[in-house]
Structure 1
């Protein structure tokens, strides 16, 4: 199976590329920039990506070089994981510009791939989109970025229908693990390293946190299924479905003994309810069916912090 995977320098994208390759797929990973232009944790991911993917540098989705790649190379699957994310937390996020970048020349891309025998398209969605996952009404997007993801999906679905390509949607909730940008986990560990108690300001939010390697294993299996059956479906695998307060306590219980730290957690009274109270994925999975080891995943996460 030959896969064209966009967005492979991202946190989840790198893991997806690795697990696809482990299943025997040949992964071609176009990157917006040159490999040596990436720094920090993204630079480390790109360096790791070289081990299991063929990198095509300076090849953004829909640009001239990307179109040449599409025209000259047969692929079994287009895994469109890339998305415009600059200032994704901002309420001034450019929704229209993001959708345009995410879908540049999409019709021509799909027609070119179909001509060369493409079997399926797999688009990555987010549980933070409008009308996605399960949670409290109204099922609005979490943010302008989430809105752009939902609109991008609508454009992809439209053109796949017109071109006649099977389309699967893989919905991501909250992945965590090694090679992640500094976020909630890093805050917890850095606080504990200073001998302080970590405070959770939004303990009542019900969320769906999933180990990134388990997420990527599920993704690789989903891609293989879509290609083999030449049909698509929506698939949003669940991880730990619990409040953010409970998740913080879980991280403390798992990492404390592994890092040799006192991992105190204080749940504050939540006053910020600017996000939906509950939003989770809906597809329960059996991790054992993927050969996944939960303890090993926590070991790997602890190891990543020991060397950071």
Structure 2
């Protein structure tokens, strides 16, 4: 099978590319390299340096005719979405529509969408939240991801395009680019390894469900292999607050530097945790790497990056 991975040179996208390669598929990565890196890619992956909003990206789909599209390219910074909701909608809604319009006429057999479980539910009524929980996003980022799922439902009903919307918890791990809220683990890990101070916004009591990047990539492959159509949570069902996260990372980095606190940011949820039992039932997926081990692997990645300044992330 030929697989197109948008955002394929990025943190999660490159792990997704690796998963499909290992399964014997041909992989094309479409990435504008705004945050992705060529070095993340296996040499066997073909890289098309394009923006998902461009006519050229649509033309690539029509010419290559991939059987599967894994759509990970996105504006993924919650805080930036609050500051500039038009930019968020342009990338996350119009960019996705550009791909869907090309996909529906190009023989695509399945569209796998990287949605969000961390932002789509808003302030939760229950913890962890199942897929049936009301979607009440409190940021434009969450709104744009919810819109993406609604458009997928339309393209399924109107054109018969099968899809899976993977609602990720807070993804972390090796290759993560330390910018934006979604990169809190990467931000802390990079700064701690470098002996620099870290800032926690708010009191640090806000909690998240942290899931390891390669585990998330495996969910994409399973979403392709299974017949399930619809939305499914990909997380651990375990809450960890930011203060605890910082402590674990500081211990892993061998750092005694205390975190500084700054005022909280608008649009940030207090708690977020998702129930992934449906993923086990319909995809055969469950997390395989616990938080302590995953953070250890992440710190080691950033330590290695620090020893290779020519390749270090900015």
TM-score, structure 2 as length reference: 0.74
Deviation at 1:139, TM superposition (A): 5.0
**Matched residues in 1 for 2:167 and 2:96: separation?**
16
Deviation at 1:121, TM superposition (A): 1.5
Instruction: Find the counterpart in structure 2 of residue 276 from structure 1.
Output: 269
**Matched residues in 1 for 2:154 and 2:188: separation?**
42
Instruction: Find the counterpart in structure 2 of residue 249 from structure 1.
Output: 247
**Matched residues in 2 for 1:169 and 1:129: separation?**
14
Instruction: Find the counterpart in structure 2 of residue 18 from structure 1.
Output: 18
Deviation at 1:163, TM superposition (A): 0.3
Helix, strand or coil: the match of 2:240?
strand
Contact 2:190–2:302 (8 Å) recurs in 1: no
**Matched residues in 1 for 2:164 and 2:48: separation?**
24
Q: Does 1:125 align with 2:115?
A: yes
**Matched residues in 2 for 1:56 and 1:221: separation?**
25
Instruction: Find the counterpart in structure 2 of residue 177 from structure 1.
Output: 173
> Which residue of 115, 136, 141 corresponds with 1:140?
136
Contact 1:129–1:150 (8 Å) recurs in 2: no
Contact 2:104–2:161 (8 Å) recurs in 1: no
> Which residue of 148, 154, 174 corresponds with 1:158?
154
Instruction: Find the counterpart in structure 2 of residue 103 from structure 1.
Output: 97
The CA RMSD over aligned residues, in Å, is 3.6
**Matched residues in 2 for 1:273 and 1:199: separation?**
16
Deviations 1:166-214 (A, max 9, x none): 1111112211122212243344345545767756444221211112122
Instruction: Find the counterpart in structure 1 of residue 309 from structure 2.
Output: none
Instruction: Find the counterpart in structure 1 of residue 43 from structure 2.
Output: 51
| Gapped regions of structure 1 (runs ≥ 5) | 33-37
TM-score, structure 1 as length reference: 0.75
Helix, strand or coil: the match of 1:252?
helix
Deviations 1:136-182 (A, max 9, x none): 69853242222222212212321222101211111122111222122
